[in-house]
Chain A
């Protein structure tokens, strides 16, 4: 049986930051908390849905809010566990296993933190295969699975139980509650049975994040070698084409918190001599949602846009990007479940307020 140990968490968090495409929150704090939990309570079993019994229930656990909030209003060790317990008490549902709603970023680690403290296993999979800002963008939602009953818990331990008929109204109400309760909360949602889960989840994403993360750790400081390894891993994965757009130096960072999201724009001047007059522009809504070069649209959601530090190869979150930094900009085709008509209803560029049409990489 595969387990996740405390020693796996460094690679997992690296890989999850990569797949978070600029969002997902700072993983360092989540790694420390998950390490504390696993060190105290032992490794967490990583299972496929086939290991579940017919009437077992799996819930998705994670943080919701603007990621920069956690850099100041620090998370606590027991909150995810307390949220799952509160969910079980208030809904009268016995939870058998946990799953991540998005493998991108700190939310890949929170289920492990809760699972260790509760003694539950974690499913090798997630609801996105990346990170995205809103609940209805999860594969669970796109497959029509009800997000509720769901429970949110804030930093002070206050809870709110949600019963919504559809993901969109759940997302709106949850977001409002989050904004009024510090800007970052823990939620327990999408209760699913084994068969539903198998249909709706992105399979193997936790293992894949570990694989990508190991490459990132192994090739720190050697960006060329790193890109080769990543290209190979993505080639034999569920993701699409792997593209290197080039490198640039950050000239301007504009950011604000709007409607509960980290919104912003980053301007970069290309480092390649011949591209000098063609600035890059990276648009952010928690994640990187569009990359332009001069007037040309290079990539948009749902395809993945990733920024690596040019010297170290480390993937960077939007909130860590600063004036003067030099970055490598990558694009990776979204997995097939995001290219369906049903999916594009909720993850096309228009859903993020962008005018560009979706042209798959």
Chain B
């Protein structure tokens, strides 16, 4: 059974053709500013290399860092009207508080503090008045193209207030893009609101990106489903990503860790992915990336996303080396082949150091032959120190975890690192993200309001687990290898003491990819 995994990165777009769990072929093409061009180029390269038609492919999965990059680079964001209900609570804590100023400017157009919202008891917090409506209408008129976010106290228990305001907005402006904080439902209003703002600000861009992918597939007469990998390594349909682009933020590192697992057949390891600008270090546990359970910060913005625990270092092929032997975080990135010394440029990069040390043969080595040996040693020692320190930190109490090194920049430390570290051979090393994207899983979830007086906890959980299993089966998942990823039990005090909202979330590999026995 054939499928294609595509990783659309900032510098390169990789594509792999998988047959079952076998990597048939992989290609790497430079990324373009327009995603459809990148995807078409990758598909073309793949079709040519494999001399196969793409018609038999059963599905295509894309992992992309487009949306992460947009936030990091402050590009392609449309600032939103952030509506907060429940005035006067939260006075002095406006949406975007403690965000980096540059990001706040790009993401929040205006803040409205309005009435409404609930107390814990379910009672109204403050009244929604005609004054609130007037303020809202005025903002909508002044900013006709701004998406809207709505965050209301206790909307995780009762989303009515947010939904009513959304309906009110759509009654005057049916096309308005709206994200509700209850759609990112976990306890913590600020974190939900932050996630909503980042999400809504990306939605206009997401529509363009997804349309671009779909055009590319159409142009190449590829009729199979298009699936996009999200933060936890499971798949979303393209139209879901148009509504929830923020759910793809960490699909890159997730895919690289899962790809490394697939290629090495290891279930537990530390994965080091050395790229052009950064090194990402994550941990594989029982076949999945270890999740971060702390408040996940995106560019220091507090959110409630469930994401892999990754440490990112400013260490990559294009990282600039300073005269005193320190390096980074600045990097020439994809301009390596014009700016690095070995390519005739005038910037000393970590790649230049690797060539000078004899670890890589690339470009013109004579251009770095005269480099001070002491400098080379100092830089290499520091690189190794930094990487080893973070590997130890990430390993935690599991000090014997194998270490896998992948990525285009793996050469930087090959030969320097301990012999036990596993360096994937080329071309696999540079293609792990695309492999990871191709083996993404499906997730299923079920939720219900349960009365513990009439249904004991264990029975309710079993019932919901079975519903989640059905959900997974309907998406083509293999329930035999299903893992529960989250169980939440939230009391609903306004209904009564014994009423709880139960949510079960699970995931499994797709049925068609059975691991060799």
Which residues in A have some Cβ–Cβ distance to B below 8 Å? 26, 28-29, 32-33, 36, 66, 68-69, 71-78, 155-157, 179, 182-183, 221-222, 247, 252-258, 271, 309-312, 314, 319, 322-325
Interface string of B99-137 (1 = CB under 8 A from A): 000000000000000000101110001100000000000
Q: Are B294 and A312 in contact (CB under 8 A)?
A: yes
Interface residue B144 (Cβ < 8 Å from any Cβ of A): no
Interface residue B406 (Cβ < 8 Å from any Cβ of A): no
- Given contact pairs A74-B90, A156-B126, A182-B125, enumerate 17 new A-B contacts (beta carbons under 8 Å): A26-B188, A69-B120, A72-B154, A73-B117, A73-B119, A73-B153, A74-B86, A76-B89, A77-B91, A247-B397, A254-B489, A255-B489, A271-B397, A311-B309, A319-B187, A323-B488, A325-B293
Q: Are A183 and B190 in contact (CB under 8 A)?
A: no
Q: Cβ of A258: which chain B residues have Cβ within 8 Å of it? A: 497
CB of B111, distance to nearest CB on chain A (Å): 13
Given known A-B contacts A68-B187, A182-B120, A323-B487, A73 and B125 have beta carbons under 8 A apart: yes
Q: Which of B89, B293, B488 contacts A309 (CB 8 A)?
A: B293
Total A-B pairs in contact (CB under 8 Å)?
107
Q: Cβ of A29: which chain B residues have Cβ within 8 Å of it? A: 93, 190
Residue contacts A-B, CB under 8 angstroms, 13 given: A29-B190, A32-B97, A69-B120, A72-B188, A74-B190, A157-B88, A182-B120, A247-B397, A256-B497, A309-B294, A310-B396, A323-B487, A324-B485
Alpha-carbon separation in the docked complex, A78 to B92 (Å) = 8
Q: Cβ of B75: which chain A residues have Cβ within 8 Å of it? A: none
Q: Which of A32, A155, A324 contacts B293 (CB 8 A)?
A: A324
CB of B59, distance to nearest CB on chain A (Å): 29
Q: Which of B92, B294, B396, B491 contacts A255 (CB 8 A)?
A: B491
Alpha-carbon separation in the docked complex, A156 to B115 (Å) = 12
Alpha-carbon separation in the docked complex, A258 to B496 (Å) = 11
Interface residue B302 (Cβ < 8 Å from any Cβ of A): yes
Which applies to chain A's interface (DSSP): helix, strand, loop or mixed?
Answer: loop
Interface residue B189 (Cβ < 8 Å from any Cβ of A): yes
Alpha-carbon separation in the docked complex, A75 to B91 (Å) = 7
Q: Are B89 and A74 in contact (CB under 8 A)?
A: yes
Q: Are B489 and A72 in contact (CB under 8 A)?
A: no
Alpha-carbon separation in the docked complex, A254 to B302 (Å) = 25
Q: Are A74 and B189 in contact (CB under 8 A)?
A: yes
CB of A40, distance to nearest CB on chain B (Å): 10
Q: Are A72 and B189 in contact (CB under 8 A)?
A: yes
Task: Give A33's nearest chain B residue, CB to CB.
Answer: B92
Interface residue B372 (Cβ < 8 Å from any Cβ of A): no
Interface residue B291 (Cβ < 8 Å from any Cβ of A): yes
Task: Give B457's nearest chain A residue, CB to CB.
Answer: A254
How many residues on B have C-beta within 8 angstroms of the other chain's C-beta atoms? 43
Interface residue B345 (Cβ < 8 Å from any Cβ of A): no
Interface string of B425-450 (1 = CB under 8 A from A): 00000000000000000000000000
Task: Give B486's nearest chain A residue, CB to CB.
Answer: A323
Q: Cβ of A183: which chain B residues have Cβ within 8 Å of it? A: 119-121
Alpha-carbon separation in the docked complex, A179 to B97 (Å) = 29
Q: Are A71 and B497 in contact (CB under 8 A)?
A: no
Q: Cβ of A322: which chain B residues have Cβ within 8 Å of it? A: 293, 486
CB of B96, distance to nearest CB on chain A (Å): 12
CB of B360, distance to nearest CB on chain A (Å): 31
Task: Give B156's nearest chain A residue, CB to CB.
Answer: A72
Q: Cβ of B293: which chain A residues have Cβ within 8 Å of it? A: 309, 322, 324-325
Task: Give A327's nearest chain B residue, CB to CB.
Answer: B293
Given known A-B contacts A254-B489, A255-B491, A76 and B120 have beta carbons under 8 A apart: no
Q: Cβ of A323: which chain B residues have Cβ within 8 Å of it? A: 486-488
Q: Cβ of A179: which chain B residues have Cβ within 8 Å of it? A: 121
Interface residue B220 (Cβ < 8 Å from any Cβ of A): no
Q: Cβ of B490: which chain A residues have Cβ within 8 Å of it? A: 255
Q: Are A156 and B187 in contact (CB under 8 A)?
A: no
Given known A-B contacts A76-B91, A221-B393, A324 and B291 have beta carbons under 8 A apart: yes
Q: Cβ of A28: which chain B residues have Cβ within 8 Å of it? A: 190, 295, 302
Alpha-carbon separation in the docked complex, A177 to B44 (Å) = 70
Interface residue B218 (Cβ < 8 Å from any Cβ of A): no
Alpha-carbon separation in the docked complex, A29 to B394 (Å) = 28
Task: Give B154's nearest chain A residue, CB to CB.
Answer: A72
CB of A242, distance to nearest CB on chain B (Å): 20
Alpha-carbon separation in the docked complex, A252 to B98 (Å) = 33
Q: Cβ of A271: which chain B residues have Cβ within 8 Å of it? A: 397
Q: Are A256 and B491 in contact (CB under 8 A)?
A: yes
CB of A18, distance to nearest CB on chain B (Å): 16
Q: Cβ of B91: which chain A residues have Cβ within 8 Å of it? A: 76-78
Q: Cβ of A66: which chain B residues have Cβ within 8 Å of it? A: 120
Q: Are B309 and A74 in contact (CB under 8 A)?
A: no
Q: Cβ of A247: which chain B residues have Cβ within 8 Å of it? A: 397
Q: Are B89 and A73 in contact (CB under 8 A)?
A: yes
Task: Give A254's nearest chain B residue, CB to CB.
Answer: B489
Q: Are B97 and A73 in contact (CB under 8 A)?
A: no
Alpha-carbon separation in the docked complex, A29 to B94 (Å) = 12
Interface residue B493 (Cβ < 8 Å from any Cβ of A): yes
Q: Cβ of B90: which chain A residues have Cβ within 8 Å of it? A: 74-76
Given known A-B contacts A254-B489, A255-B491, A324-B293, A74 and B93 have beta carbons under 8 A apart: yes
Q: Are B487 and A252 in contact (CB under 8 A)?
A: yes
